[in-house]
Homo-oligomer: A and B are copies of this chain.
Amino acid sequence: MNAPQLVERVRGGDRRALARAITLVENGAEELRPIMAGLAPHTGRAHVVGFTGSPGVGKSTTTNAVVRAARAQGRSVAVLAVDPSSPFTGGALLGDRVRMQEHSADPEVYIRSMANRGHLGGLSWATPHALRVLDAAGFDVILVETVGVGQSEVDIASQADTTVVLSAPGMGDAVQAAKAGVLEVGDVFAINKADRDGAKSTLRELRQMIAMKDRTDQEWKPPIVMTVASRDEGVGELWERVEQHFAHLEASGELTERRRARARGEVEAIVLELLRARLGGVGADGGLDTLAREVAAGDRDPYTAADLLLKELGADPIP
């Protein structure tokens, strides 16, 4: 299957073609270039919703319930679960996606885990590429879920139109979320496991922290929804809020802004990746390995080493 054929089949929603395209993204394959170029004119339709939150808040369960809510409204849904890969576990820990098998017979639902092999900047181009594939395949909604908290969780907000931040009672999650910097990227907040002790104080705490940010009357006020995703409680409301946020983005022109920022990040990531691929390959004398050896020994400082590498790359001198 050559690139134009793959592009055609992806556009037709062919499952095998989708799987193959995302595997190429995972592997950072050479063939990506013509495929991404071919898919580009057919993108921009899907509503991309990111899910973020600490381990244990019920991200997979919530994503699963949201798939149900979106399907109930007739939307086709793709789920992209981004996992950092681990030589220890490989795909084994993706077992929690198994519960997603509920939807496996539904032709309007596509679920895919993707390893993110620690490219520089983490999600920087792998996730946008995968979103491009699913978008061009015609899904109405793409849900992106990542594992863990920290930078990758904040990064996901730059990839999504709407970011849902999940927390749960009694894990000190509101505070931890603030530490990880995810509070300011949340468009919709959900407190899952809301039948547990402490849900009210988590709500209070979260409400206070969200109110700390100044917003004009025109700006979106992030709502907080209480859910028990395992029993489907509150998930309908959560989905409604997500759709309201999308309508707000469209009406305010912010959607265009966000998508331009996303494209900017994607292009930047590709430029840096192309340059980076060449850093190791530059001439023996100024080669990165030799320079790193000298820097490690204290014989050269890292900035002089960087200057030498840039010269080898043929880039114009930094003004």
Q: Contact residues of A with B, CB < 8 Å?
A: 32-33, 36-44, 54-56, 83-89, 93, 118, 120-122, 124-125, 128, 146-154, 171-172, 175-176, 178-181, 183-184, 209, 212-213, 256, 259-264, 266-268, 270-272, 274-276, 278-279, 288-289, 291-293, 295-306, 309-310, 313-316, 318
Contacts and interface: CB of A to CB of B under 8 A. Distances in A.
Contacts of A171: 56
B42 A298 contact: yes
B295 A263 contact: yes
B179 A93 contact: yes
A67 to B, nearest CB: 21
Nearest to A259: B296
A118 B151 contact: yes
A221 B265 CA distance: 40
A144 B299 CA distance: 25
Given A84-B180, A88-B178, A151-B151, A272 B276 contact: yes
Given A149-B55, A272-B272, A86 B179 contact: yes
A10 to B, nearest CB: 14
A298 B40 contact: yes
Contacts of A316: 313-314
A291 to B, nearest CB: 6
Nearest to A129: B302
Contacts of A302: 36, 40, 125, 128, 263, 266-267, 270
Given A36-B302, A267-B302, A154 B56 contact: no
Nearest to A277: B318
A40 B301 contact: yes
B150 A153 contact: yes
A314 B216 CA distance: 43
B275 A83 contact: no
Closest CB pairs A-B (n = 9): A150-B150, A264-B292, A148-B150, A314-B316, A40-B301, A37-B301, A263-B295, A270-B306, A263-B296
A316 B274 CA distance: 11
Nearest to A212: B88
Most B CB contacts (10 A, CB to CB) among A39, A296, A300 go to A296
Contacts of A300: 40
